[in-house]
Amino acid sequence: MAAEKVYRASTTAPVNIAVVKYWGKRDPKLNLPTNSSLSVTLSQADLRTLTTASCSASYSAAEGDSLILNGEPSDVAGARTQACFRELRTRRAALEAADPSLPKLSTMPVHLVSENNFPTAAGLASSAAGFAALVRAIANLYELPASPSELSKIARQGSGSACRSLFGGYVAWRMGSEADGSDSLADQVAEAAHWPDMRALVLVVSAAKKGVSSTSGMQQTVATSGLFQERISKVVPQNMDLMEKAIKERDFPAFAEVTMRDSNSFHATCADTYPPIFYMNDVSKAAIRAVEAINAAAGRTVAAYTFDAGPNAVIYYLEKDTEAVVGTIHNVLGDIDGWKPAAIEGLKSTVSLDEGVTSTLKAGVSRIIMTGVGEGPIKTDEYLVAEDGTPV
């Protein structure tokens, strides 16, 4: 008997870092947020997930769907992953019902193999790229005619921030108002090419112990913080408007101020959570002081910091200000972890930082990632599952 065909599709998906933060769920089951958010998609040359989705009638029905992540078997039984599988299968089943000549892929187990091109230990938002790649890869496998916004509603159920990784450039997640989540989706505010000189410098800071997960942290904030109400009703709606305008007009000082204020506001609601949650540590705070010193020395805003649910600093800047921003950070840290940025060769930043800031950064930053704004998921012929169905 001829071996059963193995169907395969591969995609890459990017990481995104929010400049107006998602923090709070109004419906934890459907993963509907308490506020809209906006992010910058980072270049996949430096940070991306590659995922191959495959299915075959020869895959064991008893073993069911599976995922190998960075070489290790990973659990797919969780409600969020199951929601993504269910939504995608339902859409494929509808296509098969409408056209009986289509192979019945919706009835076959799905095997996924996924790899990040950056160390998971870096504590970077890998769940966003991971769920975006999972959804995009299965949608490609099933040949679903769904738009990226349509798929963002599925990825959202895997991890909220993942819905924004279905697009490149500058991306908004509109909170929506429907109870079924049908209008809670991502859309593109501007393509990467609209403002291509945007750069991001990630200062990887090792946390002494694992912090509170975003999922649980935001639930505690919603339940206990009074300040949070002010954030979702006034601060975020205003920041969304200001941020969209800043991006449309390529106004970096405005972009930077909203980015820093929104990060501060988000972390203030964490501190106002009872008991309080602290994601930033002394190294993070030193990074804030460094950005302030860089901006003061330049006499204008050339750099903006932002922090997610962990101590890593992400600093946005424009390429023309590489000397002031990257030059200064490189002066402080030197060639840590083999970091020799070609972009600053021959340039010499003269911004001097406070001794305390310098020593804290030197002791606490373990790695630097220099990247830029980039594209959304890209279909590829690179497969992590061989033609016979074995993981490669």
CB of 37 to ligand DP6, least distance (A): 5
CB of 287 to ligand DP6, least distance (A): 16
d(CA 79, CA 33): 17
Interface with ligand DP6 in residues 221-280 (CB under 6 A): none
d(CA 303, CA 392): 42
Check residue 323 for interaction with ligand DP6 (CB under 6 A): no
Check residue 22 for interaction with ligand DP6 (CB under 6 A): yes
CB of 341 to ligand DP6, least distance (A): 26
Instruction: Output phi, psi for 274, to 5 deg.
Output: -125, 115
The residue among 162 and 351 lying less far from ligand DP6, judged by its C-beta, is 162
d(CA 273, CA 267): 10
Interface with ligand DP6 in residues 110-129 (CB under 6 A): 125, 127
**DSSP 8-class letter at 391:** B
Check residue 214 for interaction with ligand DP6 (CB under 6 A): yes
Beta partners for 377?
Answer: none
Interface with ligand DP6 in residues 46-75 (CB under 6 A): none
Q: In this structure, what token pair is assigned to residue 12?
A: 């890459």
Q: For the chain, how many residues are written?
A: 392
Span of 19-27, 235-243, 364-372, 376-384 interacting with ligand DP6 by CB under 6 A: 19-27
CB of 214 to ligand DP6, least distance (A): 4
List of residues 6+ apart from 86 with CB closer than 8 A: none
Residue 110: closest CA among 168, 146, 161, 56: 56
Interface with ligand DP6 in residues 283-322 (CB under 6 A): 308-309
d(CA 256, CA 300): 11
Span of 156-164, 190-198, 200-208, 353-361 interacting with ligand DP6 by CB under 6 A: 156-164
Instruction: Output phi, psi for 163, to 5 deg.
Output: -60, -25
d(CA 284, CA 289): 9
Residue 258: closest CA among 279, 277, 278, 236: 236
Check residue 159 for interaction with ligand DP6 (CB under 6 A): yes
Check residue 31 for interaction with ligand DP6 (CB under 6 A): yes
CB of 389 to ligand DP6, least distance (A): 30
| Binding-residue pattern over the window 87 to 106 for ligand DP6, x denoting contact by CB under 6 A | --------------------
Looking at 10, 43, 152, 161, which residue binds ligand DP6 (CB under 6 A)? 161
The residue among 97 and 223 lying less far from ligand DP6, judged by its C-beta, is 223
Q: In this structure, what token pair is assigned to residue 192?
A: 């990467």
The residue among 138 and 236 lying less far from ligand DP6, judged by its C-beta, is 236
Q: Which residue is nearest to ligand DP6 (CB)?
A: 160
The residue among 121 and 363 lying less far from ligand DP6, judged by its C-beta, is 121
d(CA 369, CA 312): 11
Q: In this structure, what token pair is assigned to residue 134?
A: 């999972």
Looking at 10, 34, 35, 37, which residue binds ligand DP6 (CB under 6 A)? 37
Check residue 160 for interaction with ligand DP6 (CB under 6 A): yes
The residue among 85 and 142 lying less far from ligand DP6, judged by its C-beta, is 85
Looking at 215, 264, 331, 366, which residue binds ligand DP6 (CB under 6 A)? 215
Q: Where in the chain does DSSP place strands (E)?
A: 6-14, 16-20, 25-27, 32-33, 37-41, 48-56, 66-69, 72-74, 110-116, 170-174, 185-190, 198-205, 303-306, 313-318, 365-372, 378-380
The residue among 8 and 80 lying less far from ligand DP6, judged by its C-beta, is 80
Inter-residue contact 69 to 75 (CB < 8 Å): no
d(CA 279, CA 48): 24
Check residue 26 for interaction with ligand DP6 (CB under 6 A): no
Q: Quickly tell me which residue has 């071996």 as its tokens.
A: 3
List of residues 6+ apart from 79 with CB closer than 8 A: 29
Check residue 205 for interaction with ligand DP6 (CB under 6 A): no
The residue among 84 and 125 lying less far from ligand DP6, judged by its C-beta, is 125
Three-state SS annotation for 267-289: HHHHHCCCCCCCCCCHHHHHHHH
Looking at 18, 113, 175, 246, which residue binds ligand DP6 (CB under 6 A)? 18
d(CA 347, CA 344): 5
Check residue 181 for interaction with ligand DP6 (CB under 6 A): no
Task: Please report, as ranges, the residues that interact with ligand DP6 according to CB under 6 A.
Answer: 18, 21-23, 31, 37, 125, 127, 159-161, 214-215, 308-309
